[in-house]
Each structure stands twice: as structure tokens, then as C-alpha cells.
Amino acid sequence: MKTVHRLERPGCGCGEDEVGDGLLSLDGALARIAGKSVAVEETEHVSLQHARGRVLAEPVISATLSPPFDNAAMDGYALAAGTLEGEGPWVLPVGDCIAAGHVPGDAVREGSAVQVLTGAPLPKRTDTVVMQEHVQREGDRLVLRRRPEVGTHIRPAGEDMMPGQVIVAAGTRLGPREIAAAAAAGAGSLRVRRKLSVVILATGDELRPAGDPLAGAHIWDVNSPMLAAAISREDVEVLVSRHEGDALGPLRARLSCLSETADVIVTSGGVSAGAADLVRPAISGLGGETVFSGVAIKPGKPLTFGRLGKAFWLGLPGNPLAAFTTWMLFGNRLLERLAGISAPRARRRHVVTGMRLSHKPGRCELRLARLAGFDGLGREVILCPDVTNSARVSLLPQADGLVLIPAEVESISEGDLLEFVQFFER
């Protein structure tokens, strides 16, 4: 029998916003990003066909009753069960057959039944549908042996939606479930927030496009295609800018140009404190603002967030694993805010470690983790590689997310609970 550990408090376990050495805690950095960013104001109309992945700018309100009329929930016979007299069996004459999409004729003779198919409007003066399997049909009559309960197999008008009812709240990302509800509410098109424009700019003299021949000290640019794939979504237009080397002048010129059109500039590399780390000087030289620089996480310590003109700027570290994990945690948070998502889906949850983990105290570690099933108490179990190496991309395809190992913890025993952030790719 395993112990269920009590959770002392929510959050990554790294305590206060500021954790010393000018670094912010993970949750402190997320809070700064959320505090600085608000949803874009402009909206547009899209047809339901083009609504998937967009964020609703105003609620979907049901226009009418849904269903709009009482109708048959089964293939069978509509009759007035309330007027059946005496004990059965009853023999009733059967009128026309009414299919879905057809309006029943006016008069249903008293004491008779009407054949109805699923979805057919309920004929006037009937109150019940008897399943066709429960009657005996004999030519133009039916024999009913058991008294049906009044109201069975009828879908009453307004059972699903009433006029004026909020069916999908503003700030919801639209998927098939919301689009189904909107269609049933009578909405042919929806008002959504405009698309975001995000530009990716990888920096580094050493980078060459993946697939190009390498020479000397070149390496392939992993971050541009990785980030483009991580950021692409129906409500985001992604532009991958030609990568900039490590020279201040051209970098500054490019950043300045990009800031005129983009909502978000995502740079990779060049935000540490080395001689070739020129992104911050370039941004500040252009009059940009740095909101924070440095988060007490491993990998991802150099993560920087700021503004340049009207654009937000997220400076990701160059190491691909660090760029990926920081995008997943912080970049997605920024885009959710700008997109106007009102209640982001919870992606952090607690899971059980299926193995002992050791950790060097200092910074909160974001370690790749694989979901490996459930323990005897039905709790999710994760397994991890032994260490985090921010340059190793080969471990990514096996990972489902990250576990957060709090800064001061030295070791985690098998069976302990840890926070887990699942990767999501839409």
C-alpha cells in the first residue's frame, strides 16, 4: 500500500516570486507575463466551417428553442395515450407515415395513430410515441397490448436549448464540441478574435538551415522549425524570419522591422550574458522594455520577456530543449492571454514518480517525463531520464511533458507526488 502524500500548496514549490540573484520563480514569471498581456481587441466573423481553433469574442446565444418543435425520438406510432380507454389491447387505425423534415397534416382522427419516423414533428393531438417494435401492425391498423406511458419517446421543444441561453462562453477556443453546440443554437457564423501574428527569429553565427550541408563550426538550426511547429495554430500566423547572425547592427535593424507588424517576436539564443549575446542590447538600443530576464529554472534560466514597440518579445535560450520547454510553459501562456482565452485549460496536475530522482538543489528543474501508466491507487505514474541536458533533443520524442522538481529538493523517492505539465501541440 502506498502513501497518498498531502499537497502543501499549489504552484511549482519554489516559493516567492523573486528567488534571489535577480531571478524570478517559474510561477512569478508566469504571473508577470499574464499581468502584462491582454487580449487583442480586433474581432472578425468566421463561418462555422472556418471556426475551428479560433477564440470566441462574444458568447453564442441560442436563437430559438432547440429542438424547435416536439418530435419523435424513435421510429414508431404517435398517438394520444391519455385518451386510451379501458384495458388493452386497443386496435387503432393508422394514418400517414411522417418522416423527419415533413409537416404532419392537420387532422389526426380521435382514436387513431400516425406512423412517425425519428425526428418527425409530433402530430397535433398526440402525446406519445410507441416504438414500432412494441405494436403489431395489421394492414392499416395496429394492435397495442400494453398501455404506454404518456410522453414517452418524445423530444420536447426546447429540451436542449432555450432562447437567450448562453451556449458557449466568450473566450472559449472553438473545437468540434463548441461548433456542434453553436450549430444547434442556430449560429451560422461566429465573432472571433483576430489572428495573432508571431515571428520567430533564431540567432547565432553557427546556424544553417536543417538539411543544408555543414562546414566548419556550423550546426543545423533546430529552433526555427521546432518553434514554428509548436506555435502554428488556426488563430496564429507564424512567420519564420531569416536567421540573424551575431552582429548587433543587422540584428537591431531586423528586430525593428519585425516589431512593426508582429504581435509577438520570439527570438532564440543570444539572451545569456556572453559576448555574443546581443538580443537584449539590440532591444534596449531600440527603446524596448525588458519586463524580466532570468528565471530560476533549469533549463531555461536566461528566459527574457519584454516589449518592443507594440510587439511583445519573448527571448528564449538557444539550447533547443531549453527553447522548447520555455516556449511550452511561458510562450503558450502569453499566446493564451493575447488570444483572449478566458479560462485556460488546466495543464498542470500532480503525478506519482515511478522511480527515485536526484536533483542538484538551486533551481526548479523541468525534467522531461513520460507517462507510464497508473499505480494501484489509480494515480498517473511518470518515468524520467536521469538528468536534464538542455542540448539533447533526441529525448523529446519520448516525452509527454515535464515534471517540476522544486528548487531546494535533493531527492525524490519513488511514489512521491510531483507537478507535471503535459505538452500540448495545438
* Cα–Cα distance for residue pair 399/197, rounded to 1 Å: 28
Site size toward ligand AMP, by CB under 6 A: 17
Minimum CB distance to Mg ion smaller for 139 or for 216: 216
Integer CA distances (angstroms), 110 to 63, 79, 99, in order: 35, 9, 21
Is 317 a binder of ligand AMP (CB under 6 A)? yes
309 residue type, one letter? G
Exactly one of 207, 295, 338, 403 binds ligand AMP (CB under 6 A); that residue is 207
Interacting residues with ligand AMP between 124 and 143 (CB under 6 A): none
Contact 384, 362 (CB under 8 A): no
CB of 233: closest distance to ligand AMP in angstroms? 21
* Contact stretch for ligand AMP (CB under 6 A) within 40-48, 188-196, 198-206, 233-241: 198-206
CB of 314: closest distance to ligand AMP in angstroms? 14
Exactly one of 76, 121, 315, 320 binds ligand AMP (CB under 6 A); that residue is 320
Which phi and psi angles does 230 have, rounded to 5°? -70, -30
CB of 240: closest distance to Mg ion in angstroms? 17
Q: Residue 171 binds which one of ligand AMP, Mg ion, none, with CB within 5 to 8 A depending on kind?
A: none
Cell numbers placing 119: 425526428
Is 315 a binder of ligand AMP (CB under 6 A)? no
CB of 215: closest distance to ligand AMP in angstroms? 15
Q: Residue 76 binds which one of Mg ion, ligand AMP, none, with CB within 5 to 8 A depending on kind?
A: none
Contact 291, 32 (CB under 8 A): yes
Query: What's 109's DSSP letter?
Result: -
| Three-class secondary structure of residue 271 per DSSP | coil
The C-alpha angle 141, 147, 150, rounded to 5 degrees, equals 100
Residue nearest ligand AMP, CB atom distance: 318
Is 400 a binder of ligand AMP (CB under 6 A)? no
Is 282 a binder of ligand AMP (CB under 6 A)? no
| H-only helix segments in 116-222 | 176-184
345 residue type, one letter? R
Exactly one of 13, 28, 204, 299 binds Mg ion (CB under 5 A); that residue is 204
Q: Residue 390 binds which one of ligand AMP, Mg ion, none, with CB within 5 to 8 A depending on kind?
A: none
Is 219 a binder of ligand AMP (CB under 6 A)? yes
Cis peptide before 89 (omega within 30 of 0): yes
| Three-class secondary structure of residue 400 per DSSP | coil
* Cα–Cα distance for residue pair 37/43, rounded to 1 Å: 17
* Cα–Cα distance for residue pair 370/423, rounded to 1 Å: 11
Cell numbers placing 8: 502543501
* Residues in contact with Mg ion, shown as a per-residue x/- string from 248 to 287 under the rule CB under 5 A: ---------------------xx-----------------
Contacting residues toward ligand AMP, per CB under 6 A:
202, 204, 206-207, 219, 221-223, 268-270, 272, 274, 317-320
